[in-house]
Structure formats: structure tokens, C-alpha cells
A and B are shown apart, each in its own frame.
Chain A
Amino acid sequence: MRTAKELEKLAYEARLLILEGVHCAKAGHPGGSLSCVDALTTLYFDEMRVNPENPKDAKRDRFVLSKGHCAPALYAVLALRGFFPKEDIRLLRSIKGHMSGHPDMVNVPGVDMSTGSLGQGISAAVGMALAGKYKGEDYRTYAILGDGEIEEGQCWEAFMAASKWKLDNLCAMIDVNGLQIDGKTADVMPSEPLDKKLEAFGWHVIPVPGHDYDAIRAALKEARETKGQPTMLLLRTTKGKGVSYMENSAGWHGKAPNDEQYEVAVSDLRAHLAELEA
């Protein structure tokens, strides 16, 4: 088991890759990638049973990035975990490569479901968990949704279904960073109180400080031990986390930094890594 500090180092290396990818592509979604990358790192380096040598291993745990626009975060973590070379991140969104702008299960090793159209990934995750129950297999299924994404009604259809089939092998998370493209989620379409709503839908709900590795790990353990219902982690996060000028700014939802801004971001992230290594 890795220490929280080790996970944090990996997550900050992933942040560097996210920025590198988005900067090379001159497009992409850094804000939400930076808010969910700590949970993703914890999943792939601490929680999930995956095999980079055999990405389609039938016994593996599954992960669906329902907020598919945060592909840079998923690709960065998959690269660090050894599914493909880290240099591939430079092909993000490029016609020259296989690093599609949204997760592509056909061409990107380690991606379990093609996503990008909001609201659809969680349904696929429900299907994966249902298949596990039906076949009597012990793999677990994980998914991350955005707090803007859950404005899509399909998410709530999926929440109902997961509860109907008592999918305790499913652990979903909402990256509650409070912002979406047009501004504050509370203004665009208020969704709180999420805990009460999801509990009413039959889920076991755990509020989690979304950049605290020990807290994420403890919540994942609690999810594993919860029987008879699916678990939802409400990750309270900061959009743009780790890059000073991107934090809590809706403007950085889907925009790439220019060269100068990229240098600032890299120096922010490297400074933090240096602190961790000191």
C-alpha cells in the first residue's frame, strides 16, 4: 500500500501530464481534470485491480469516466500506471495519434468505456456492475461523474437502476467542484442537497474531501464493505486544483493555457512536487 504522500506525488506528476497534454493540443479540459485527478490516482494506484500487461483482463476492476471531457486526467493516470508511454499524452486531441479528445475504449489501452456525451457513462457502469452480479464475478466497478453532468436526467435513471439491482459492487463518485461551463452549478441548475437526494434514491452516500488521499481511501474501503446498495462518494473538490490561477475558475473548464501560462502552471506543480520530495 502506498502512503498518502506517495499518492500525492503521483497525482502531481499526473497534473503535469494533464497540463502538458492540454498545452500541446492547445485545447482540452484542465479544470475538471485537475479536480478529479486525486481520486483517479487513488483508484488506479491503490484501489483497483488492473493489469497494464493485459488491459482487457476479464477479472479486472472496471472504471468509467462518465465526465468524459476529463480524458486528460484519465490518460495521465493510465500512462503513469503503465498502460502506455507517458509521451503519448503529447498526442492528446491530435490527428496524428490515438489520444482522442474524449475517452476511447477501442484505441486507448486501459479505457473501459468510451464516454464524452454526459450522462451516458454511469449507465454503462451500471451495466458492468450488473454483469458482475449476473455472472457471479467479484470485480468492482467505479465511475466518476461531474456535478454539472448530473443535470442530465439519464444519470438519475441510472441511479434508480443501480439501487433496484442492489449493486454493492458499484462505487460512483461525483466530482463536486461547484462549477460548470456557464458558471456556478448552484446558479446554472442547483442540484443540492446531493446527499439527501442520493440517499432517497437508495445509495449509501459518503461525503469526502476530494483532495485528501487518506479520506478517499477510507471512503473506498467503506464502499467495499457496504452491502446491498451502491455507494456514492461526494468528492468536495476545487476546480483547477494545483494550478494557482486555474483554481475555482469556470473559465478554465475547457481552455488551454498559452506558453506563458503553461510555464506558470508547470512551476506551480514542480514547486509542490519539490516540497513533497523535501
Chain B
Amino acid sequence: MGEKKATRAAYGEALVELAEKYPRMVVLDADLTQATMTKFFAAKYPERFFNCGIAEANMTGIAAGLSTCGLIPFVNSFAIFSAGRAFEQVRNSVAYPHLNVKIVGSHGGPSVGEDGATHQMNEDIALMRSLPGMTVVVPCDGNEMKQAVEAMLNYEGPCYLRMCRYATEGVTDLMPDYRFELGKSVTLREGTDATVIACGIMVPMALKAAECLAAEGVHVRVIDMHTVKPLDEAAVLKAAKETGCIVTVEEASIVGGLGGAVAEYVSEHYPVPVLRHGVPDEFGRSGTAAAVLDFFGLNPEGIAAKVREAIRLK
């Protein structure tokens, strides 16, 4: 696997790297430039950066206004604030008029760690996915993140980009021909016994789980579903038909997120067992990122156990 890097770090680099090529891009933050990694863009392009203070609702509305005038605003804060606190602003001022605003949620999921439940946003994928016309992207590593940012710049419409604080191994970094495409998943490993559909930092863990299971003679397909909406339905249908059971894995609530999206589709089109692995229907807790992830079984062992369970249901 590739070098360890947090997706938010790659995001910070991407903004700077893409700034010249995309002059319509502007960046907004709510007093978290150090943590969201917009500080590099802010330092290099101060005239294109707007610090809105600790006022996410207003920041979202300002972005909506900027976008009506032809700019492409990236709205940054912790996911709990950009997707949570300002949810209704995202809904009514951005998604409803289908404006070209990119909502960015850093520090998604329980891997926020020590800050605990108030700052661990587990519901963002579900919330953003529920909005008509919203594209929801959860990249798995730095390379995918950078390509995702550029894909969003080339797409006219509202997007939610989710990233996290925790550094994990690169996956697509080591794939020289890798090309990110919105809405098109990536099958990272072939298998016929079960399929793991993962997003974000759960992707490298899913690959590790698949490796462990292979040693037991269980062959697992691993899909990187970086775009949760619109869902790559063809890949999901193929997985259901060819492997007979699916485990979804996300560093987020099992309610309504990637697991919800896959289960909804499979139950209506080709019912096979779908087990959702993620944060159960409860709040997070303080601890190191690794400890909190382990607590919820969000590790290769936890994923492998879920796959065995799914295969038993076939």
C-alpha cells in the first residue's frame, strides 16, 4: 500500500495546485483554516479566500451568492458544521436552486478521535445524500482526493466532499493509470464469495480484510464506492449477482449513508444479503482515532467478521 496521508492534507494541496487552472474557484472557511488545510490556499491566494468567521450558516449563504455570480466556491468546515449545523442552508440556499457550490466536510466520522461525540460527524453522508441533486463524494486517499476536487470543478452543480483527519495508507496512489470519474466506482480486487463496498478510509482496511480472508480461502471483491451519490448502480447490481452478498463499510453511521444507499438499491432490484458495517445507531466517544475505530470494529478484523457473517446468510 502507498504512503500514509490524511485525505484533508491532499485536499489542501489540491486547492493550491488547481487554483491557476480554475480561476473561478474561491475558497471560504469558518476559522478552521489550520485544520481544514485551506491555510495553504489562503496564504497563496489571499484575494480568493474569504474567512467568514465562526458562522457556517452565513458562510453557506455567501457561497450561494458567489456562485450565482459565476464563481465556484468551496465551503470549508468540520463536517459536523458544514453538513450538520448548516444543513438547512445547504438544503434551501444551495441544493434547492442547484447552485454550483462545493460543500466540504473535513473531520468526518469517528476518526476525529479525542474531541469526542460532539465533533464526530457520523450522519453527514446520510444528510447530504438525502438532498435532491446533491453529489456526495468520499475519497479514499490523497490521489483520489486530488482527482475528485478537479472532477468537482468540472461538474456544474452542488457537491459534498467528505474527508477525514486520520492518515491511512494510499490505495490509488500506486495505480499509475487511475482516473477518477464521478459516479463510477473502482473495483480494486476481484472475488466471487462476497463483495465489500467501501468508501473513504475504510477502503484500505477493506483491502486488508480481503487479504486476511483470502488466506482462509474466501475470495472477496472490494469496490471503492467513492461517489455515494449518484450511486454506481451497475457495479452494485453486478456484485449482487456475481457474489451473492454484500457488506458495506463506511466510517459513518449505518443509518442512511453508503449502507443505506446500497441496501435500498439491492432490496429493490436484486435482493441478496446486505450487511451494513459502520458506526451503529449511537453517538461516538473520545479516544485516539485508532481506539475509537477499533471500538466500533472499523478495522480489517471487524470487516472480515462481517464478511463471514454475510456469507453465512447466502
* A contact set with B: CB distance below 8 Å: 58, 62, 64, 104-106, 112-114, 116-117, 119-132, 134-135, 153-154, 157-158, 160-161, 164-165
Contacts and interface: CB of A to CB of B under 8 A. Distances in A.
A161 B68 contact: no
Contact of B61 (A112, A135, A154): A154
Contacts of B63: 127
B70 A114 contact: no
Nearest to A129: B65
B19 interface: no
A158 B58 CA distance: 6
B66 A127 contact: yes
Interface in B102-118: none
23 contacts: A58-B69, A64-B65, A113-B64, A117-B89, A117-B92, A117-B93, A121-B61, A123-B61, A123-B62, A123-B89, A124-B61, A124-B64, A125-B65, A127-B64, A127-B67, A127-B73, A130-B50, A130-B65, A131-B69, A154-B57, A158-B61, A160-B53, A161-B58
Given A124-B62, A161-B55, A114 B89 contact: no
Given A106-B98, A134-B26, A123 B60 contact: yes
B96 interface: yes
Question: Taking chain B's interface residues, is the majority helix, strand, or loop, or is none over half, making it mixed?
Answer: helix
B88 interface: yes
B68 A124 contact: yes
A134 B71 contact: yes
A139 to B, nearest CB: 9
Contacts of A129: 65
Interface string B38-82: 000000000110101101011111111111111101000000000
B2 interface: no
A207 B68 CA distance: 30
Nearest to B67: A127
4 smallest CB-CB distances across A and B, nearest first, come from: A127-B65, A123-B61, A131-B69, A157-B58
A165 B92 CA distance: 25
Contacts of A135: 69-71
B97 interface: yes
Contact of A124 (B65, B71, B98): B65
A123 B57 contact: yes
A161 B97 contact: no
Nearest to A112: B68
Nearest to B55: A157
A130 B97 contact: no
A143 to B, nearest CB: 10
B32 to A, nearest CB: 16
A123 B88 CA distance: 13
Contact of B58 (A104, A114, A126, A131): A126
Given A106-B98, A160-B55, A131 B93 contact: no
A160 B98 CA distance: 27
Contacts of A157: 52-53, 55, 57-58
Nearest to B98: A106
Given A123-B61, A161-B52, A131 B66 contact: yes
Interface in B226-249: none
Contacts of B96: 114
A161 B62 contact: yes
A62 B69 CA distance: 10
Contacts of B58: 123, 126, 154, 157-158, 161
Contacts of B59: 123
Interface in B256-290: none
Given A126-B65, A153-B57, 4 more contacts: A58-B69, A126-B62, A127-B67, A154-B89
A242 to B, nearest CB: 30
Contacts of B53: 157, 160-161, 164
B84 to A, nearest CB: 15
A153 B86 CA distance: 13
B179 to A, nearest CB: 32
A106 B97 contact: yes
Contacts of B71: 131, 134-135
B101 to A, nearest CB: 10
